[in-house]
């Protein structure tokens, strides 16, 4: 399935891209938001796109090839944005976008290990050069550490029993496959509605593998330093803890003013058309 950019019109309206603007897309993904933003900054403007996932970055490269030298793409975590911004002349930018988390292509490819619905290795890395995988966490982290991430990142009520079950099962046979883990959890937890019992555990593992909250906390102050006065930072988040980190950061940073009084959410039409947009929240702040 193709990845549909979430809240595309709203992101563009809030970032207000204009010719000659310099923009940074810290999670360029498949280049959906970037293509629209770039179309507004020409002539004269440029966009720096960063992604931790080399295969998504290649898809963005193809999609954005028509913009020529107006696009610079870099394979790295957005947490290192300042180094790349300096190298490519993107200090003092007009706008920065972060569209957090995974893309549809991650979930659709069983080999990436993000989905409990299809069998694959327990991987879940955005950056496949990194050594920590979901398999390492599931087979090597202590029961306490597992329970902690399931509770904190997955908001899983049965965090402790799931952690206990994993530890006792892996003593008999290592847990290497997505469906192996999903079946274990389904044997312990009842399904509520349409939500698979392993949903929250998988979410927690993905966040832990990629240190998603840590990376977000590291990048926020970097973004503020890179924005010129009047420049805007737009962040799309999909998890209540992420939204809390962003909200607190906007509130506690004297040089920022939040321009979205409440987070913007997708319309009913968009939610029907693109299920991924259902949990999306957009917050935008302006540098004073």
Ligand X SMILES: C[S@@+](CC[C@H](N)C(=O)[O-])C[C@H]1O[C@@H](n2cnc3c(N)ncnc32)[C@H](O)[C@@H]1O
Binding residues for ligand X, rule: CB under 6 A, are 3, 5, 26-27, 29-33, 50-53, 56, 77-79, 99, 101, 103, 126, 210, 215
Sheet holding 93-99, edge to edge: 71-75, 46-51, 22-25, 93-99, 227-237, 281-287, 256-258
At closest approach, how far in Å is the CB of 56 from ligand X?
4
Q: What is the closest distance, in whole angstroms, from the C-beta atom of residue 242 to ligand X in the complex?
A: 11
Residue pair 185/191 in contact (Cβ under 8 Å)? The answer is: no
Distances (CA, A) of 24 to 96, 97, 270: 5, 6, 25
> Which residues are CB-neighbours of 244 under 8 A, at least 6 positions away?
none
Toward ligand X, which CB reaches closer, 158 or 270?
Answer: 270
Q: How far is the CB of 238 from ligand X (least distance, A)?
A: 8
Q: How far is the CB of 254 from ligand X (least distance, A)?
A: 26
Smallest distance, Å, CB 31 to ligand X? 5
Please state the closest distance from residue 286 (CB atom) to ligand X, in A.
Answer: 21
Q: Between 30 and 198, whose beta carbon lies closer to ligand X?
A: 30
> In this complex, which beta carbon is closest to ligand X, that of residue 5 or of residue 120?
5
Assess contact for 96 and 226: CB atoms under 8 A: yes
User: Closest separation between CB of residue 55 and ligand X, Å?
Assistant: 9
Q: For tokens 């930018």, name the residue.
A: 93
> Which is nearer to ligand X, 52 or 283 (by Cβ)?
52
Decide whether 51 or 258 has the Cβ nearer to ligand X: 51
DSSP code of 275? Answer: G
- Give the C-alpha separation, 28 to 20, whole Å: 20
Closest residue (Cβ) to ligand X?
A: 29
Residue with Cβ nearer ligand X (178 or 274): 274
**Backbone φ/ψ region at 7: left (φ over 0), alpha (ψ -120 to 50), beta:** left
Q: Which C-beta is closer to ligand X: that of 146 or that of 235?
A: 235
The Cα–Cα gap between 188 and 234 comes to: 40
Of the candidates 106, 108, 110, the residue with the CA atom closest to the CA atom of residue 125: 106
Query: What are the CA-CA distances from residue 29 to residues 4, 125, 149, 258 (Å)?
Result: 11, 14, 26, 25
| Cβ-based nearer residue to ligand X, 64 or 184 | 64
Three-class SS state of 148:
helix
Backbone angles phi, psi at 162, to 5 degrees: -70, -45
Q: Which of 90, 139, 96 is nearest to 285 (CA)?
A: 96
User: CB of 279: closest distance to ligand X in angstroms?
Assistant: 12
| Strand, coil or helix: 241 | helix
């Amino acid at each position: 399935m193709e990845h549909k950019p979430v809240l595309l019109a709203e992101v563009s309206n809030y970032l207000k891209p204009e010719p000659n603007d310099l923009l940074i897309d810290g999670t360029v993904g498949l280049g959906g938001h970037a293509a629209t933003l770039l179309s507004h900054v020409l002539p004269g403007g440029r966009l720096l796109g960063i992604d931790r996932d080399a295969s998504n970055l290649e898809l963005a490269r193809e999609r954005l090839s028509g913009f020529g030298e107006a696009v610079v793409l870099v394979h790295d975590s957005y947490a290192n944005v300042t180094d790349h911004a300096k190298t490519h002349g993107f200090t003092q930018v007009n706008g920065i976008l972060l569209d957090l988390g995974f893309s549809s292509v991650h979930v659709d490819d069983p080999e990436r290990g993000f989905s409990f619905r299809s069998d694959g290795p327990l991987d879940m890395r955005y950056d496949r050069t990194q050594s920590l995988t979901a398999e390492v966490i599931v087979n090597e982290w202590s029961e306490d550490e597992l329970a902690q991430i399931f509770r904190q990142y997955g908001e899983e009520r049965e965090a402790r029993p799931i952690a206990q079950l994993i530890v006792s099962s892996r003593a008999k046979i290592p847990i290497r496959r997505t469906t192996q883990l999903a079946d274990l959890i389904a044997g312990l937890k009842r399904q509520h509605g349409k939500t698979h019992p392993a949903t929250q555990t998988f979410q927690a593992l993905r966040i832990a593998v990629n240190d998603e909250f840590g990376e977000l906390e590291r990048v926020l102050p970097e973004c503020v330093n890179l924005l010129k006065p009047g420049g805007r930072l737009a962040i799309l988040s999909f998890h209540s803890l992420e939204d809390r980190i962003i909200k607190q950061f906007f509130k506690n940073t004297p040089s920022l003013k939040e321009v979205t009084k409440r987070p913007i959410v997708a319309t009913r039409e968009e939610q029907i058309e693109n299920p991924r947009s259902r949990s999306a929240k957009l917050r935008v702040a302006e540098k004073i």
